[in-house]
């Protein structure tokens, strides 16, 4: 089942830049879903729209590093006392399938500010 935030593998043989890669679902429509994927050369996040049939849900259990990041962001969101800037950073981090060193530093700084280890 496709839902916002789910991890998916993309099957798009006509698009070798995204075929076989993992992404996170941004939104789900009746026939298509929009998926966040990192554009590797520029390290920017881009959204792509695919038919449901081109997406295969991937359990987070198969990606322990990503599951750990999700656990961290979930704990921080549950605090309820984050400032708006921290909330926005966490929302951005939840789009990725792997964090860059800089993104990891942002996550660590927010955790340290709120004394989460």
Describe the strand order of the beta sheet including 55-57 as a list of residue ranges: 44-51, 32-39, 22-28, 7-10, 55-57
pLDDT of residue 116 exceeding 80: no
Residue whose C-alpha is closest to residue 34's, from 58, 13, 4: 4
Q: What pTM was estimated for this model as a whole?
A: 0.83
Mean confidence (pLDDT) of the chain: 91
Residue ranges covered by each domain of the chain: 7-58, 62-113
pLDDT tens digit sequence for 50-105: 999 999 999 988 888 889 888 999 999 898 889 999 999 999 999 988 898 999 99
When pLDDT is cut at 50, 70 and 90, the band that residue 117 belongs to is low
Percent of the chain at pLDDT > 70 equals 99
């Amino acid at each position: 089942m496709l839902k916002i935030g789910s991890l998916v593998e993309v099957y798009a043989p006509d698009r070798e830049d995204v075929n076989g890669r993992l992404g996170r679902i941004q939104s789900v429509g009746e026939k298509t879903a929009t998926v966040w994927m990192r554009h590797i050369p520029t390290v920017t996040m881009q959204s792509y729209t695919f038919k449901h049939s081109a997406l295969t849900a991937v359990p987070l259990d198969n990606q322990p590093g990503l599951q750990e990041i999700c656990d961290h962001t979930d704990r921080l969101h549950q605090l309820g006392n984050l400032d708006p800037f921290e909330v926005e950073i966490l929302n951005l981090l939840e789009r990725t399938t792997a964090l860059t060193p800089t993104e990891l530093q942002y996550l660590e700084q927010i955790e340290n500010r709120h004394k989460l280890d």
